[in-house]
Structure 1
Amino acid sequence: MAQTVGRNVAAPLLFLNLLMYAIALGFASWCTNRYINGQTNHPSLGGNGATGLFLTFAILASVVGIVSKLAGGTHVRAWRSDSLAAAGSASLIAWAITALAFGLACKEINVGGHRGWRLRVVEAFIIILTFTQFLYVLLLHAGMFSSKYGPGYRDRDYGIGAGTGEPIHKGGAVPVAGTRV
């Protein structure tokens, strides 16, 4: 199958999102460890009332995002409608959780107070990932509009060559040759 426009754009975006989710997971894990230990006076952490919830959702969004990129990698490699189901649903769930973390990041920024550089890095990555993940979801589903942009939802050649080419009887009992029914 020839490469399409959607595949050529989705593959680098998938890799970029995978790296960004991994970096966000690392920083969010470090910040959560310090936050649980009660070291909010650490110069790299700080925080306010929204920090605990934000870090929880940032870790959740990062883990689900990384797992969705594994399904996305399989889909980009195969680029068929049957692999699109797993990649599309996983990326949509990852985007929804990232959007929740985005809302908490906005709330944390709005509340204010001292926030260390590592916490601000997590906020920035989650904000950027919200938009890049949404773009990735759109690229995966662009095949609805034209098969030029994706594998399409109506592959006419799906299953061709799998059987003998004979029509399959879809009724009740199959009559045996030479007998009357």
Structure 2
Amino acid sequence: MASKAVSCMLLSINTILYFIVIVAASWAVNHGIVKSRETASVLPMPARIFPIYFPFGNLATGFLIIYSLLAGIVGFITSLNGLHNLAQWDSASQHVAAASSLISWLLTLLAMGLACKEISIGWTDSNLRTLETVLIILSGTQLFCTGAIHIRVEEVVRSEMEIGGRV
């Protein structure tokens, strides 16, 4: 029963953090779209082909923004879905929550790896540093959340087996 409370708390925190990631990454994409026409017009040909040029950050910024937006959207929906599934008590909903939590964690790890690469290259502004920090924190909290949900799945399966008399 304690894993249900821990899972709900971690999913609530992750919902807020993923929302912050969505907002920061969406701002960066919008800023890149608005500034790309004037900034990319002076670049050589291969750089002008890419529709969004990020006039801030470094060479890893484009990949970080796109993957963090993807991880943020998937993680936000997964966290909301996980809260809904944890409110139910059946085994099927717990397995769905466990699988989607694992997928969300893997996408968050990918975005966190790109954030670490951007940090190692250097030269980012404060909005990108916020995004990088939140992604690094999210990779840890999503790991704990995924573990708590998997523990919860084992508890639900065990209780259903005891009720069915298959112990």
* TM bracket, shorter-chain basis: 0.7 to 0.9
1:124 pairs with one of 130, 133, 144? 133
Structure 1, residues 91-146: CA drift from partner, whole Å, max 9, x if none? 11111110000110000000112x1111111101111000100110000111466x
Measure how far apart 1:32 and its partner are: 1.6
TM-score of the superposition, structure 1-length normalised?
0.75
- Mapped to 2, the partners of 1:37 and 1:155 lie a distance apart of 55
1:100 matched to 2:97? The reply is: no
Higher Cα radius of gyration: 1
Match of residue 2 from structure 2? 5
The one-character-per-residue Cα deviations of 1:134-173 (angstroms, maximum 9, x if unpaired) are: 110000111466x3xxx23561236xxxxxxxxxxxxxxx
Task: Please state if 1:14 is matched with 2:11.
Answer: yes
Aligned-partner Cα distance in 1 for 2:22–2:152:
31
Q: Could you tell me whether the CA contact under 8 Å between 2:15 and 2:76 is conserved in 1?
A: yes
- Identity of matched residues, %: 34
Name the residue aligned to 2:30.
Answer: 33
Q: TM-score, normalised by structure 2?
A: 0.80
Q: Which amino acid aligns with 2:148?
A: L
User: Contact 1:68 / 1:94 at 8 angstroms: preserved in 2?
Assistant: yes
Asked if the contact 2:98/2:153 (under 8 Å) is kept, the reply is no
Q: Is the 8 A contact 1:24 1:62 kept in 2?
A: yes
- Partner residue of 2:58? 48
Q: Which amino acid aligns with 1:7?
A: K
**Residue ranges of structure 2 left out of the alignment (5+ in a row):** 40-54
Find the aligned partners of 2:80 and 2:152 in 1 and give their Cα distance.
20
Partner of 2:96: 86
Answer 1 or 2: which has greater helix percent: 2
After superposition, the CA RMSD in angstroms is 1.9
Q: Distance in 1 between matches of 2:19 and 2:153?
A: 30
| Contact 1:7–1:79 (CA under 8 A) maintained in structure 2 | no
Stretch deviating more after TM superposition (136-145 or 48-57): 136-145
In structure 1, runs of 5+ residues without a counterpart are 159-181
Distance 1:98 1:8 in 2: 23
Aligned residues: 146
